[in-house]
Amino acid sequence: MRIRTKIIFGLVVTSIYGCGEPFREEGHIYGNAARKAIEAYRVISGKAQASEGPFWNDCGREVTCLFLYNTQDQGLVKAIVVSLLAAQAEINKPGIKLTVYSSSHNETKVVFREVTIK
């Protein structure tokens, strides 16, 4: 029963992970780059803070938005930005706007950092 629940949860998360258009493929590239940066940062730093995300969406003609919740770790934000810069250099378009919230996804939004890469 637990495996079935995990599979269903995985399918739901995958389906809502990124719903932006017209840069769906690029959104997935940015999201994967951010996810890998988060995983690598946790291993290197030894910090196991449970952040929420990353989630992405199209937020304009030239920019894809990436959201991360429940963190105030400046080192983590820096690691994600480095990873996003590398991804953006490969795909060229669209730009990326990273918004990091110190609040949880279901709470009133408290912005910790915003970074835009064009």
pLDDT at 70 over 70: yes
Q: Find the mean pLDDT for residues 38-61.
A: 81
Domain segments of the chain: what residues?
Answer: 2-117
Whole-number pLDDT of residue 20: 45
The CATH-assigned architecture of domain 2-117 is 2-Layer Sandwich (3.30)
Report the chain's C-alpha Rg in angstroms.
Answer: 14
pTM, entire model: 0.74
Calpha distance 118→63 (Å, rounded) = 8
Q: What is the DSSP string of 87-117?
A: HHHHH--SEEEEEEESS-TTS---EEEEEEE
Query: What pLDDT band is residue 18 in, cutting at 50, 70 and 90?
Result: very low
Between residues 108 and 3, the one the model is more confident about: 108
Q: Which of 84, 89, 79, 92 is nearest to 66 (CA)?
A: 84
